[in-house]
Amino acid sequence: MTIQNIISQLGEGMLKTMILFFSTLVISLPLGLLIAFARMSKLSIGKKFKPVRFLAQIYISVMRGTPLMLQIMVVYFGPYYLFGVKISASYQIYAAIIAFAINYAAYFAEIYRGGIESMPQGQYEAAKILGFTKAQTFFRIILPQVMKRILPSVTNEVITLVKDTSLAFVIAYAEMFTMAKRIAAKETSMIPFVAAGIFYYVFNLVVAVVMNRIEKKMSYYK
């Protein structure tokens, strides 16, 4: 089998890897911000919402303290073992996206929290004096600065996500790594693995370049 044929067969895996990657980001980034708000609820809405803060802490602890591979298996096989729901092949992509999204949301939540809590309290007080509402203060003054501060940490997580997509093989989701294993086993060749490695490297290189440009464009928030 020629290299062109191998790359052609890996094309489907590349597409599924990118679908999983972008879907995870689209869901986990805003979800992480919501979880960060819940985690910090004591700062603005008092003891009444202490259970919300506690649940957010437990969620983050579980998501960060257990293997992503285990979480993927729980999301995929859970409906059958817990509720007797039959699992179809089409559920693989949804299970993978859900598992990755809830896992990375926990990491993004802590990154958001660290960035928000690092902001000087004086900025909130100055905005209040100028007549800004809490929502205006956060979205127009605080959040742009927070995004600038946390961008390096977010970049690291995004790069890790590219590589972690290979863990979806545990539920037989045919992403890049799974396709490479199938072709390598069939052809008894290492070329599919080399091609997959090049793909992951190039994908991460593109992500790093894009994130670096975004960071430079946001430098005016210094």
Please, are residues 57 and 42 in contact by the beta-carbon 8 Å criterion? no
Burial of 44 (0-12, 13-18, 19+ CB in 10 A): exposed
Tell me: pLDDT of 98 over 60: yes
- Buried-exposed string 143-168: b where 16+ CB fall within 10 A, e elsewhere: bebbbbbbbebbbebbbebbebbbbb
What pLDDT score does 45 carry? 45
pLDDT at 135 over 50: yes
CA dist., res. 219 & res. 194, Å (int): 37
Structural domains of the chain, ranges and CATH numbers in brackets:
3-221 (1.10.3720.10)
Segment 14-70, tens digit of pLDDT? 889 999 999 999 999 999 999 999 988 764 444 556 788 889 999 999 999 999 999
Which two three-digit tokens encode residue 113? Answer: 């929290």
State the average pLDDT over residues 124-142: 85
d(CA 101, CA 96): 8
Please state whether the predicted TM-score (pTM) of the whole model is above 0.95: no
